Structure 1
């Protein structure tokens, strides 16, 4: 046959024979089995992955320290329960199982004082550098060159940081409550004690979120990492002091009275209650301060003064233990509202000016 004629491509016989220079048809690529969707683990991606990777050292450090603190408190709680059980707790009387309890009380007190610093530490070392570091180094300028908007970048920063803070503080709060409950039911401290009230329930979560977001806002304004950390320290301390002074404002005092005369004993506050005021009680039901008639020159003159003022006994205002949880949630609501205001400020300012 003429070489010029187009006879089409030659096909190698199925048996493997044929000309050595014969062309073969390309084989189809192998079909790989499709793995089931259930075997894939959820993984971070996109902006969330970028934010986590950028601040992973701070996040993992906070999570690791929380895990260590939780493990130590669980160990201390186990020792406390062993001691109480050996003394007959909870069936025996408190006088029996509260013997030799001072070392365990000292441990809870030291832990409570240390945990008061958690909002300060988180605000200084996590909140303040979160934006200040990017602004100071110029990394934030890259945001304006990317497809993601600055508002989304800021929202993702807060959306990754706040859950880490919440997880850590919730864990600490739950373990503290489980550790201290056997002691706070019977010893001199109650749920109203500053270290107990601040480190249990929703309060530590709200306080820490507020100080962290406050640190982020301070870093956004000052744009210098070290300066932002210093200012955040004073901000966090101020928040703790102001809150501790007004933490009982939402509680409703309960009044108990005794009509045993001005020289009689005042009524006893129920177990777990916190006394907030004590005064004299008059026959008409009014109260007078304890300084009443102190200026009289003699006991006889003071007695006449008490009769003239119709003092018939004592009155005590106290906060019952049953109000602790409600007051904690009310305080936490106010703190979280303040944190929300700070978060809105960060996002609004970020939309207008990031770099």
Structure 2
């Protein structure tokens, strides 16, 4: 076994082979390919760990300040005077939540794409796999070590953020559950692992670090666009309606707390249970009598609104995470199968 892949736990501090006498070092130590992967990417790994710790500490500190304010003042700032003070804390939560939304991009472009492409480009992959480490084992460890670190750090960051956000959830439009659907719960971990795996696959195929990073960026942006368009379909849309007419003074349905309205807006509800677009009879709206007659001719009896309740958030997140992890598993399987036969 060469010095690239030997287990440092079986070597003396001076680099001489262990002679079997005396005590061996105790405690957890990486060995073999895992040690090599850590050594290769230790700068990136330590950067990720440091940024995670800093982020967690900052969020804990900010939450302490925010809860102290909420304990002394009403959320609107009406108590005790300092107008707009609550918005300052709300803006901080929203800004940090928006920044956490870039974690999948960073994981895919800066960790996933160069992971295998860098070794193929520099010849390290050929050197390592020509020793006692097989291609499948090397690829498995190469993916597993950074993936485990990413999952752990992402979980820590999003758990700290969820704890910070929980006291003010829904207190303003910018703090609604739909604003932070992607950065709380299990979604962030699954999302980060997906983009990381995609980046690794792109790197293996293109074999050039810079090209892999550029292509991965485009793919991750496309994934984000599709996800933003589709994630609401994971929920069960509900409707709320009234049957007291739609004329002047008629009360429109009131959505439950923190619910998000869906569709084009408010619909007209007919006596048969059908729904009409709100533009129905719009051409007669200038004359109140003609407008009312038009609606009566269509048997309109009230309003109807579609919405997603906040109570479905966790269910939707688990379903979305399951889909992402299934795609991730498929991508990883592709990397391992192709890499085992056509890596070099």
Q: Which residue of 1 aligns with 2:213?
A: 229
Q: Name the CA distance, whole Å, in 2 between partners of 1:84 and 1:173.
A: 22
Check if 1:40 corresponds to 2:26: yes
- Once the 2 structures are TM-superposed, how far is the Cα of residue 301 of structure 1 from its aligned partner? 2.2
Q: Name the CA distance, whole Å, in 2 between partners of 1:135 and 1:192.
A: 43
Q: Name the CA distance, whole Å, in 1 between partners of 2:256 and 2:84.
A: 22
3-state SS of 1:281 partner: strand
Deviation string 1:260-290 (CA, Å, 9 cap, x unpaired) is 2122231111111111142111112221111
Q: Which residue of 1 aligns with 2:230?
A: 246
Q: Which residue, 51, 64, 79 being the options, matches 1:78?
A: 64
Check if 1:309 corresponds to 2:311: no
Change (3 A) 1:161 1:33: closer
Contact 1:190 1:272 in 2 (8 A): no
Q: Which residue, 44, 51, 68 being the options, matches 2:54?
A: 68
Q: Which residue of 2 aligns with 1:137?
A: 122
Q: Name the CA distance, whole Å, in 2 between partners of 1:59 and 1:88.
A: 42
Check if 1:116 corresponds to 2:101: yes
- Once the 2 structures are TM-superposed, how far is the Cα of residue 252 of structure 1 from its aligned partner? 0.5
3-state SS of 2:272 partner: coil
- Once the 2 structures are TM-superposed, how far is the Cα of residue 171 of structure 1 from its aligned partner? 0.6
- Once the 2 structures are TM-superposed, how far is the Cα of residue 94 of structure 1 from its aligned partner? 9.9
Q: Name the CA distance, whole Å, in 2 between partners of 1:295 and 1:328.
A: 43
Q: TM-score, normalised by structure 2?
A: 0.87
Change (3 A) 1:60 1:33: closer
1:56-205 mapped onto 2 (5 Å cutoff): 56-87=42-73, 100-189=85-174, 191-194=176-179, 196-205=180-189
- More moved, 277-286 vs 219-228: 277-286
3-state SS of 2:254 partner: coil
Contact 1:255 1:317 in 2 (8 A): yes
Contact 1:191 1:324 in 2 (8 A): no
Q: TM-score, normalised by structure 1?
A: 0.84
Q: Which residue of 2 aligns with 1:9?
A: none
Q: Name the CA distance, whole Å, in 1 between partners of 2:109 and 2:267.
A: 44
- Once the 2 structures are TM-superposed, how far is the Cα of residue 353 of structure 1 from its aligned partner? 1.0
Q: Which residue, 320, 333, 336 being the options, matches 2:322?
A: 333
Q: Which residue, 334, 337, 341 being the options, matches 1:348?
A: 337
Contact 2:108 2:220 in 1 (8 A): yes
RMSD across aligned C-alpha pairs, in angstroms? Answer: 2.2
Gaps of 5+ in 2: 1-20
Q: Name the CA distance, whole Å, in 1 between partners of 2:78 and 2:187.
A: 32
Check if 1:217 corresponds to 2:201: yes
Contact 2:94 2:174 in 1 (8 A): no
Q: Name the CA distance, whole Å, in 1 between partners of 2:23 and 2:292.
A: 96
Change (3 A) 1:271 1:99: farther
Deviation string 1:60-104 (CA, Å, 9 cap, x unpaired) is 111111111111111111110110111268xxx997599731100
Q: Which residue of 1 aligns with 2:7?
A: none
Task: Report the structure number with the largest CA radius of gyration.
Answer: 1
1:255-270 mapped onto 2 (5 Å cutoff): 255-263=239-247, 264-270=250-256
Deviation string 1:162-191 (CA, Å, 9 cap, x unpaired) is 100100110111011001111114322455
Change (3 A) 1:115 1:227: same
Q: Which residue, 192, 205, 209 being the options, matches 1:208?
A: 192
Contact 1:282 1:310 in 2 (8 A): yes
Q: Name the CA distance, whole Å, in 1 between partners of 2:122 and 2:33.
A: 19
- Once the 2 structures are TM-superposed, how far is the Cα of residue 44 of structure 1 from its aligned partner? 0.8
